[in-house]
């Protein structure tokens, strides 16, 4: 019986690892993103005034995308999949800093994007704060 429970837990574990957790995303955002974007994601963090590129208001991502939250673009921007430049870009690449177990988020077109759980959770939290 014990062996059967272990096998069942291994079959269930991958599905649990892919679950989005917006509360954990809020905490990760506060730890890694709020300095520039502000605790509420409105681009009003304490560093915003001294940056050469103003942080965007992340509560308006859906509004700027025809009412659809651009989950894949958010994940790829945070983890550094897009905007990789030889001398850096306006935003730090957090893919290595937020590395860890994989997670998945369902995108605007119904596909699933795999990234670290922290990046997925940040994207899930951002989806929840859209105006």
One-letter-per-residue 3-state SS of 18-87:
CCCCHHHHHHHHHHHCHHHHCCCCCCCCCCHHHCCCCCCCHHHCCHHHCCCCCHHHHHHHHHCCCCCCCC
Domains, the chain, in order of start with CATH, read 2-128 (1.10.760.10)
Collect all residues with Cβ–Cβ distance below 8 Å to 62 and sequence separation of at least 6.
68, 69, 70, 127, 130, 131
Instruction: Give the position of tokens 């306006």.
Output: 90
The Cα 59–Cα 74 span in angstroms is 12
What is the reported pTM?
0.81
The Cα 101–Cα 123 span in angstroms is 16
Q: State the pLDDT at residue 80.
A: 87
Q: Is the pLDDT of residue 103 over 80?
A: yes
Q: Is the pLDDT of residue 55 over 60?
A: yes
Q: Is the pLDDT of residue 86 over 90?
A: no
The Cα 24–Cα 49 span in angstroms is 27
Q: Is the pLDDT of residue 26 over 80?
A: yes
Task: State the distance between the two ends of the chain, measured CA to CA, in whole angstroms.
Answer: 50
């Amino acid at each position: 019986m014990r062996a059967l429970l272990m096998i069942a837990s291994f079959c269930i574990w991958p599905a649990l690892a892919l679950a989005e957790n917006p509360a954990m995303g809020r905490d990760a955002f506060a730890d890694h993103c709020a300095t520039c974007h502000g605790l509420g994601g409105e681009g009003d963090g304490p560093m915003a005034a001294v940056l050469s590129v103003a942080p965007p208001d992340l509560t308006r991502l859906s509004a700027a995308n025809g009412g659809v939250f651009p989950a894949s673009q958010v994940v790829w921007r945070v983890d550094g999949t897009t905007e990789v430049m030889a001398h850096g870009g306006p935003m730090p690449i957090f893919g290595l800093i937020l590395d860890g177990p994989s997670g998945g988020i369902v995108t605007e077109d119904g596909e699933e994007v795999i990234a670290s759980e922290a990046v997925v959770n940040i994207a899930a939290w951002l989806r929840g704060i859209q105006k």
